[in-house]
Each structure stands twice: as structure tokens, then as C-alpha cells.
Amino acid sequence: MSERWTGTWLSGPRAALEPGAENDQRWRGERLGYPEQGPGAVAGFGRRILALVVDWAPCALLAELLTRNPATSALALFAAYVAVSVALFGRTGGHAALGVRVARLEGGGRPGFGAAVLRALLICLVVPPVVYDRDGRGLHDKAVGTIVLRTR
């Protein structure tokens, strides 16, 4: 094994970037043209995870009260709620409470219904949202061409 190869994964993800490439990004979303702070900036991981908890809690409670299989029912209810909310309004109740929205990367509008459904299903797989790039876009956002932006 070469020292260069081990250096890329032992030194963290930034070490693997090619020298001379556009690696001098100062904030999430800079290279995509988004501001550093305020409305329109890329939402941080903390806001996104809190929004997920705010959205998950009522789905889990309803599933517990109304079904015999609360785990599966909560996941299905959550996926349906997120897909419909994002398709119709560009955000869920949790997003609204935390001041974020889901936008198409191209144009900034709401994602379409198909993109919202696929995005919701990928969120339910758990791994896509926690694997993200330097712009704060998870695999679920990259798959459907969306980004989560602050509204305030």
C-alpha cells in the first residue's frame, strides 16, 4: 500500500480532493451560488435533523394509537406525509417550524411529485440522508436534484 492512498482516507475527505481543483469553498453551497447565511442559504444538518424529528413524532404516535404494527405503519405514514407535503408545499410541518424548505437545484421551485416520492423513500432508508457532499446535499437530494435551503 502506498502512503498516498492511506493518507486520503486517514486524513479525512478533504485530503482526497485533487490539488488545483475548485476546493476552496468557504461555506456550504458557495460553489452552487447560495449565500453563506440567512434566507436562501443551505440549511445545516442540525435544522434538518430536528425537522425530521418534528415530522416523525406525530407519525409514530398515530401509528402507535391506530395500528397493530406501529413500526411499519409509522414509516409508511411518514413517507407518505413527507412525499405529499414536499410535492405540494415544498416543505413539511417540521421544515416550516425549523425555517427550511426543499427546492429544486435548477430553478429553486418545489420538486415534482415523482421527485418528492423518491426523496421520501430514500430518506426512509436512513443512509442516503447521512451521506452528504460539501454542499450539504444528501444522497437523497442528489438523486432527485434538490437542496434544502433556509427560509429565515
Q: Is residue 8 part of a domain?
A: no
pTM of the model: 0.81
Within-domain flag for 113: yes
Q: How many domains does the chain have?
A: 1
Domain that holds residue 98: 38-150
Q: How confident is the model at residue 130 (pLDDT cuts 50, 70, 90)?
A: confident
**In this structure, is residue 129 part of a structural domain?**
yes
Would you say residue 75 lies in a domain?
A: yes
Residues 6 or more apart in contact with residue 79 via CB below 8 angstroms: 120, 121, 123, 124
How far apart are the C-alpha atoms of 140 and 138, rounded to whole Å?
A: 5
Is residue 106, in this structure, part of any structural domain at all? yes
Whether residue 3 lies inside any domain: the answer is: no
Would 30 be classed as within a structural domain?
Answer: no
pLDDT tens, position by position, 74-114? 999 999 999 999 999 999 999 999 999 999 999 999 999 99
Count of CB atoms within 10 A of residue 49's CB? 14
What average pLDDT score do residues 27-42 get?
Answer: 94
Angstrom distance (rounded) from CA 16 to CA 90:
34
In a domain, 21, yes or no: no
